[in-house]
Amino acid sequence: MNLALVHSRARTGVRAPAVRVEVHLSGGLPRFSLVGLPEAAVREAKDRVRAAISCAQYEFPARVITVNLAPADLPKDGGRFDLSIALGILAASGQIPLEALGEYEFLGELGLTGELRAVDGVLPAALATAQAGRRLIVPEGNGPEAALASRVEVRTARTLLEVCAMLAGHKQLPLAEALPVQRIPAVDLADVRGQMHARRALEVAAAGGHHLLLIGPPGCGKTLLASRLPGLLPEASEDEALETAAIASVSGRGLDPSRWRERPFRAPHHTASAVALVGGGGEPRPGEISLAHHGVLFLDELPEWDRRALEVLREPLESGVVTISRAARQSEFPARFQLVAAMNPCPCGWAGDASGRCRCNPDAVRRYRGRISGPLLDRIDMHVEVPRLSPTELRPYAPAGESSAEVRARVLGARALQHSRAGKTNALLGQSEIMATCRLSAQDQSLLERAVDALQLSARSIHRILRVARTIADLDGHPQILTAHLTEALAYRRADRGADTRAA
């Protein structure tokens, strides 16, 4: 038999499409042809494979070798197919049993000595292998990551020779083992002094999954508050954690298998580009918004960001996905994150402070706040002022506020109500669900209409106000939205007040 078929997986976004490595040997002058839309790193596999087979004390066939990576229209990149190509050559030449290949899928880059080296994107491949009903063999370095996919049998190998010995029935490869999950103590909300209004807003945002904008002078605690949000959120489910881990796996930045259950908290610097935020590149990789999937994205100094970078957030904030299109391929990455942004009220940071130290003229303030577009502000549910703390509130022995554990208990209770009612958090409610679950009394409806007219709110803002009001009612355990809930939600539209934000 001069033909062998080996199963492997490519990497396209966070998907791992199946690839059949077809190896055919024929007579003629020795030649090695590799087809199937391989990129440079894949084409170089022929030299790595030849050296690895020789070092493993097998014979490299002196024949015409044709390797096809099917399907032919799927771009292939990286060294992930090296192991599959080597095994296909050995099976086609009769040096290892052909029938043993059918039940396995293989991933791994080969060194010239036959050593197996880790590749990226192994977790999505392991999840896809489980759906295909096969077993997976990966390099030893990828074992802890692949073991996160609990529904598939994953075995690890250090060298090509070990894989060949296993296929020949001479030895058994070890099962991949997941690393013990590390629980890093979350920073506590009790560390935040004062700021009762902002603490309450943070609790509401955590309970409903709402986006939050913090506006205040330097050093008032905006970053401190934002960093406490992950500690208020419920623990990620296994499916959510696997989705997030799969994105980290294909990002090229590495996945820590011991911390895969943690919700991500991403805080990119304000000099980051639009591509760094949404992802991209010739070979599309996920950006910060996808790495924050099922977690928190914190953007500090919001007006200092490049406006083009901020505007790319508008679609993902609504849809929860980002699609990156290139001439040769298109990749879609999930991006269902919770946005927390922070900004100063003016260029010097002290507008509105009781000290009167701000010396910014009205035009400078208007230009500063105008760096953030109205459509982007419209998509942020809550706009909260964070004032400067008094020296009394900063005393070391001043009474601390509630801990994260106390607030998180209320957040979990509110989220339980939301999931029992609609199967999702309030921030994700659609228009028909808002109409069904966010009904107002005639008096409150009139109040909302007057606020809409006074603040010149858009239909999107109205829906976001109703969602926030529904969350506040859930925190109170009330089945209906009351006037107090609606007025509190309206108070969180700070940046919609034109006289405060778009004119000085």
Residue 353, pLDDT > 70, answer: yes
Mean pLDDT of 276-282: 86
Handedness of CA 246, 289, 224, 424 (dihedral sign): negative
Asked whether 447 and 487 are in contact (CB, 8 A), the reply is yes
Residue 453 CA from chain centroid, whole number: 38
157: helix, strand or coil: strand
pLDDT at residue number 347:
93
Q: Is residue 92 part of a domain?
A: yes
User: In whole angstroms, what is the distance from residue 81 CA to residue 330 CA?
Assistant: 21
pLDDT at residue number 401:
80
Residue 136 shares a structural domain with residue 242: no
pLDDT at residue number 305:
95
| Other beta carbons within 10 Å of 380 | 23
pLDDT at residue number 493:
84
Q: Is residue 180 part of a domain?
A: no
Residue 163 shares a structural domain with residue 197: no
pLDDT at residue number 494:
66
Q: How many structural domains is the chain composed of?
A: 2
Residue 207 shares a structural domain with residue 142: no
Q: Is residue 443 part of a domain?
A: no
* CA neighbor of 2 nearest in space, from 54, 42, 61: 61
* CA neighbor of 177 nearest in space, from 205, 153, 204: 153
Mean pLDDT of 240-268: 89
Residue 252 shares a structural domain with residue 116: no
Residue 281 shares a structural domain with residue 414: yes
pLDDT at residue number 390:
78
Residue 77 shares a structural domain with residue 196: no
Structure tokens at 290: 């996808």
* CA neighbor of 183 nearest in space, from 215, 231, 242, 150: 231
Residue 500, pLDDT > 50, answer: no
Asked whether 65 and 23 are in contact (CB, 8 A), the reply is yes
Distances (CA, A) of 136 to 108, 440, 459, 462: 11, 55, 51, 51
pLDDT at residue number 179:
86
Residue 31 shares a structural domain with residue 131: yes
pLDDT at residue number 393:
73
Q: Is residue 182 part of a domain?
A: no
Q: Is residue 468 part of a domain?
A: no
User: In whole angstroms, what is the distance from residue 264 CA to residue 340 CA?
Assistant: 13
User: In whole angstroms, what is the distance from residue 34 CA to residue 39 CA?
Assistant: 10
Mean pLDDT of 42-48: 94
pLDDT at residue number 388:
87
Q: Which pLDDT band holds residue 212 (cuts at 50, 70, 90)?
A: very high
Mean predicted lDDT score pLDDT of the chain = 91
Q: Which pLDDT band holds residue 194 (cuts at 50, 70, 90)?
A: confident
Domain boundary among 381, 403, 423: 423
Residue 249 shares a structural domain with residue 162: no
Q: Which pLDDT band holds residue 123 (cuts at 50, 70, 90)?
A: very high
pLDDT at residue number 407:
95
Amino acid making up residue 433:
E
pLDDT at residue number 328:
65
Residue 146 shares a structural domain with residue 200: no
pLDDT at residue number 409:
96
Asked whether 482 and 203 are in contact (CB, 8 A), the reply is no
Asked whether 121 and 284 are in contact (CB, 8 A), the reply is no
192-196, 271-275, 281-285: which has the minimum mean pLDDT? 281-285
Residue with tokens 């024949």: 63
pLDDT at residue number 504:
34
Read off the pLDDT of residues 136-167 as tens digits, 9 standing for 90 and up.
999 999 999 999 998 999 999 999 999 999 99
* CA neighbor of 427 nearest in space, from 487, 480, 381: 381
Residue 104 shares a structural domain with residue 228: no
Domain boundary among 388, 423, 458: 423
Q: Is residue 431 part of a domain?
A: no
Q: Is residue 500 part of a domain?
A: no
Residue 215 shares a structural domain with residue 328: yes
Q: What is the CATH number of the domain that holds 366?
A: 3.40.50.300
Q: Is residue 416 part of a domain?
A: yes
Residue 39, pLDDT > 70, answer: yes
Domain boundary among 423, 438, 473: 423
pLDDT at residue number 495:
60
pLDDT at residue number 502:
37
DSSP sequence for 263-314: PPEE---TT--HHHHHEETTTTEE-HHHHTTTSEEEE-SGGGS-HHHHHTTH
Read off the pLDDT of residues 78-101 as tens digits, 9 standing for 90 and up.
999 999 999 999 999 999 999 999
130-134, 152-156, 179-183: which has the minimum mean pLDDT? 179-183
Q: Which pLDDT band holds residue 416 (cuts at 50, 70, 90)?
A: very high
pLDDT at residue number 180:
85
Q: What is the CATH number of the domain that holds 105?
A: 3.30.230.10
pLDDT at residue number 501:
39
Helices (H) and strands (E) in the chain — how many of each? 21, 18
Where in the sequence is the domain holding 301, given as residue range(s)?
189-423
pLDDT at residue number 499:
38
Residue 247 shares a structural domain with residue 374: yes
